[in-house]
Amino acid sequence: MAVFMNLDTTRAFAELRRYAEPPRLDTLLNAARVRACEVPMGGGLSFNWAACPIDAPRLAVLKALAAEMELIEKFRMIAKGEEMNPGEKRMVLHHLARGELAGPVVRAGRDYRAFYEGERRKIAEFAKAVHEGRIRGSSGKVFTTVVQVGIGGSDLGPRALYLALERWAKATGRFKLAARFISNVDPDDADSVIAQIDPAATLFILVSKSGTTQETLANENLVRARLAALGLDPAKHLVAVTSETSPLAKSPNYLASFFMDDYIGGRYSSTSSVGGAILSLALGPETFAELLTGAHEEDLLALEPELERNPALLDALIGIYERNVLGWSATAVLPYAEPLARFPAHLQQLDMESNGKRVNRFGEPVAYATGPLVFGEPGTNGQHSFYQLLHQGTDIVPLQFIGFRENQMSADILSEGSSSRAKLDANLVAQIVAFAVGKSDTDGNKHFPGGRPSSLIHGERLDARALGALLAHYENKVAFQGLAWNLNSFDQEGVQLGKVLAKKVLAGLDPAASGVEGALGAYAALLGLPSAGVANAARG
Amino acid sequence: MAVFMNLDTTRAFAELRRYAEPPRLDTLLNAARVRACEVPMGGGLSFNWAACPIDAPRLAVLKALAAEMELIEKFRMIAKGEEMNPGEKRMVLHHLARGELAGPVVRAGRDYRAFYEGERRKIAEFAKAVHEGRIRGSSGKVFTTVVQVGIGGSDLGPRALYLALERWAKATGRFKLAARFISNVDPDDADSVIAQIDPAATLFILVSKSGTTQETLANENLVRARLAALGLDPAKHLVAVTSETSPLAKSPNYLASFFMDDYIGGRYSSTSSVGGAILSLALGPETFAELLTGAHEEDLLALEPELERNPALLDALIGIYERNVLGWSATAVLPYAEPLARFPAHLQQLDMESNGKRVNRFGEPVAYATGPLVFGEPGTNGQHSFYQLLHQGTDIVPLQFIGFRENQMSADILSEGSSSRAKLDANLVAQIVAFAVGKSDTDGNKHFPGGRPSSLIHGERLDARALGALLAHYENKVAFQGLAWNLNSFDQEGVQLGKVLAKKVLAGLDPAASGVEGALGAYAALLGLPSAGVANAARG
């Protein structure tokens, strides 16, 4: 059994801290290094770390850190179904939704790989029946649109993946149903989506593991009311993705129920039924299966003992050096691919909700920085926006570039002697080198200090398999960083207090109260909420 | 004439640094303070700073800092048309697009207020002709869709504003044309938009001040090719927003040209013709005029000498204390309003491109942190995503909440005794207090340290006037912070190096080159770009 320890108690970290300054990227970076720093990933992708602030001595210390902290052994504990979410006393099984990494996981007579695979097959059958028109809306219309109703992990991941593959599915003849998403409790979200679709031809997927998510239940009520007002039978237009024990499970109010469980957290659920239902319905079950294949290929590499062949572990440890030794507090994700427009928003949740923690897995405060702030927008758009700060700001932000050789749609145009695709990739290449090397100028305003590191994930084309590998890479990177920081990356106690106080506001506040309750009441008054509580006001 | 000085040379900043720790928010925050910290803004909005780490002694130092640095006097220099963009030797006149703040600005016989107002009127006339069907597509179809083709400031601001008002315009009967946006040079962006519209009924707005923006010209060529392939006359489907001296101006290739000039930078151009054309066409000229009214109301407050009545200056100086004394390096913008989904992306450009600088207005490196990293997503969505880190992460991130009492669309639904609107606002209120006050727990994992500050901008409903004030507030906040940091907030030299290197890649690299060119070549090979250069390859 591996020993869990804080990062700052290790010999290797003490050694790493001796490298308090990054190596000079302008002397480090050259063509040979670019070719040498290629690491194969799943799905035909590669991870290139040539422009990262890691030279041979630093790499040796990262290897020592991985060994001393037994990071791969701990990752294997996840894969084997150990209780790696100690706060909630749960296994962590999202990898099993793609395939077995370390043999079967069987608990209380349930084989979990078989369970997840069984749900995937149920979804595939259901999706086929919808595509073939055997399952239709209550007025007899064939379904042409599918709407996911969920929030957080039930929204960001599936939405990012759908957008990433929508064009590709259309170009390759796989496209089945248009997908839309309702997440925010702001009723302007749901009503705006409903105004843009034909409800009679729309299937809604309710996604809530517990069946008690406030926003999702409110939006379900809204959707049911709108359907009923049109004379449609809501029970013929809704399916549920939920846990077997939730009030939504096997209810006659749904056309079908597909299951998830407590061993796959929301932000890791895109490859479970949570992503499976919407992606199989919109883009076909084969597309979803290929996504899982790519993810599984990438997962297997996370167990690779040699650091230079383990892209997630390498990416993770480079990030630890940047965060905990160099003191850089944010990471930008910059996909040069418009279809990945919302992928950074998914990674923002994945990373910040997993590792934005101040206590270790035993509940003790740690004395080092943990999860960074993650943000990003597609290139080249970002170049005309926040790149000014990235190039010449007073803080250094490590960058994660993503790029492809080919478009998803076949069309392109020549303009000034080059295609738009060539312009896109030329800009990507130029930015990596500009950030790393900079450019001296006696005019301070035109001086680029350089020394701004980046990695590059690249591949032939963004298809379902490549996307699965990309998704799994970041999941595994985040898991490795959580292990290095000795965190529980799989709970999220930090979201609870806000929920409790929101319920308090809705239930009613004493207008004469002082302290916390008084402050809540004063803010509630600014927003026009009745001080006696909304529920009471509705009852009264 | 005001004296320009670095922040760290002032007496007031030396005084401010004595407050190296924030005041305790859990003791500071109460109902009376919430009521006392209300500052009226334009457009019927208010700025509330009750949960900011500012008590009476700190506020006094901020006032001294504003006085010593003559910040309002310097803002007045902007309003009067002084050369406040020294790097490019330009005036900074975006305020004049909304109204005069400090009398007329006349240079070389041109009255700039009259010029901007004249362009607005030209656009209003043109929009009316389109709405009334007097101007139609080349096949005779009435225009039903308008597509903005632009990038950076020509995209993010107008897109965020359109999305912010689309639902409201529909609910109030102002909605005219559906708007779409093409920005990325990735051809998957443009082709995906074109696939979703009827080109025969679509008007395209080409937005490029110089008429030489690589991405926008490539997308223009793509749009023209697609229109021509359908037998449509591109010249009858395109208008240009550009400078009077650009190759796009008064060309027979456009139905009309509307003008901007060098005195309004891209990220400040939403209230010029850049935002005016698309917003007037999509949502009506009256809507755009109301947006300008709200912005002008807010602009006037930026000249208010009393700090507690000057919301932009107050917001700016609180941010200076947080960034330069408390050492917090990011700011999250959290609108509890789905229509503001892309507003944080606009602010990200506005702030990071303006103040992400390492040299002062004289080109000398500064020894203090400048512009923060800005990011955000709408609430309540963010609560289920990155709020975990905001509550319990190891870094403190100041928060900027935005909320409204009413929806834009009238519909809502009661669920568990409260409306969705009440749930949304109850969550907003709860988060402010939860972040500020925290909650002690002996279980470290359930312990909330609190002390995480926020401000709140709130109003009755997000309409055009409120949105204009919101936009102007942030523009003016960013300007004040740039003045406090002694920066030129109005140029963006940091975007140049990447452009130069991208052209180098497209023109051709020596495959045997070493150093920077060698690294460029090696990366280009990974992305499948021919080493001899794309232009040469296309010619050869």
Specify the CATH number of the domain A106-286.
Answer: 3.40.50.10490
Instruction: Please list the residues that pair with A206 across neighbouring strands.
Output: A149, A240
Q: Is B353 a catalytic residue?
A: yes
Those residues of chain B that have pLDDT short of 70 are 531-540
Contact A152 B385 (CB under 8 A): yes
Contact B413 A222 (CB under 8 A): yes
- Rounded distance between C-alpha atoms, residue B272 and residue A232, angstroms: 47
At the fourth CATH level, the homologous superfamily of domain A7-97+292-493 is Glucose-6-phosphate isomerase like protein; domain 1 (3.40.50.10490)
The phi and psi torsions of B293 (rounded to 5 degrees) equal -60, -50
| Residue B172 at interface with chain A, using a CB cutoff of 8 Å | no
Q: What is the pLDDT of residue B533?
A: 59
| Residue B251 at interface with chain A, using a CB cutoff of 8 Å | no
Contact B387 A495 (CB under 8 A): yes
Q: Which of A217, A390, A406 sits opposite B415 (nearest CB)?
A: A217
Judge whether residue A412 has pLDDT over 90. Answer: no
Read off the pLDDT of residues A437-456 as tens digits, 9 standing for 90 and up.
Answer: 999 999 999 999 999 999 99
Q: In this structure, are residues B484 and B317 in contact, taking their beta carbons and an 8 Å threshold?
A: yes
Report CA Rg, chain A: 24
Residue with tokens 């048309």: B81
Q: Which of B371, B419, B498 sits opposite A389 (nearest CB)?
A: B371
Mean pLDDT of A242-246: 94
Taken in order B240, B246, B248, B250, the sign of the CA dihedral is positive
Tell me if residue B270 falls in helix, strand or coil.
coil
- Rounded distance between C-alpha atoms, residue B266 and residue B260, angstroms: 10
Taken in order B279, B283, B289, B294, the sign of the CA dihedral is negative
Q: Where in chain A is the domain with CATH 3.40.50.10490?
A: 7-97+292-493, 106-286
Q: What is the pLDDT of residue B540?
A: 42
DSSP state of B514: -
Q: What is the pLDDT of residue B530?
A: 82
Q: Which of B389, B428, B527 sits opposite A429 (nearest CB)?
A: B527
| Residue B21 at interface with chain A, using a CB cutoff of 8 Å | no
DSSP state of A3: P
Judge whether residue A317 has pLDDT over 70. Answer: yes
| Residue B211 at interface with chain A, using a CB cutoff of 8 Å | no
| Residue A303 at interface with chain B, using a CB cutoff of 8 Å | no
Instruction: Please list the residues that pair with B85 across neighbouring strands.
Output: B90
DSSP string, A217-266: HHHHHHHHHHHHHTT--GGGTEEEEEETTSTTTT-TTSSEEEEE-TTS-G
Describe chain A by its helix, strand, coil percentages, rounded to 5.
Answer: 50, 15, 40
Q: What is the pLDDT of residue B412?
A: 87
Instruction: Name which of B64, B278, B242 is nearest B157 in CA terms.
Output: B278
What is the percentage of chain A residues whose pLDDT exceeds 70?
Answer: 98
Judge whether residue A525 has pLDDT over 50. Answer: yes
Q: Which of B415, B498, B529 sits opposite A431 (nearest CB)?
A: B498
Query: Residues of B with CB below 8 A from A402's CB?
Result: none
pTM of the shown model: 0.97
Q: Distance of CA A169 to CAs A280, A407, B155, B240, Å?
A: 12, 12, 27, 34
Q: What is the pLDDT of residue B510?
A: 85
Read off the pLDDT of residues A211-221 as tens digits, 9 standing for 90 and up.
Answer: 889 999 999 99
Judge whether residue A410 has pLDDT over 80. Answer: no
Q: What is the pLDDT of residue A540?
A: 42
Given B298, B353, B377, B475, the catalytic residue: B353
DSSP string, A373-406: EEE---TTGGGGTTHHHHHHSSS---EEEEEESS
Q: What is the pLDDT of residue B284?
A: 98
Mean pLDDT of A278-296: 98
Read off the pLDDT of residues B401-425 as tens digits, 9 standing for 90 and up.
Answer: 999 999 998 788 899 899 999 999 9
- Rounded distance between C-alpha atoms, residue A290 and residue A286, angstroms: 6
Q: In this structure, are residues B258 and B120 in contact, taking their beta carbons and an 8 Å threshold?
A: no
Single-letter residue type at A251: S
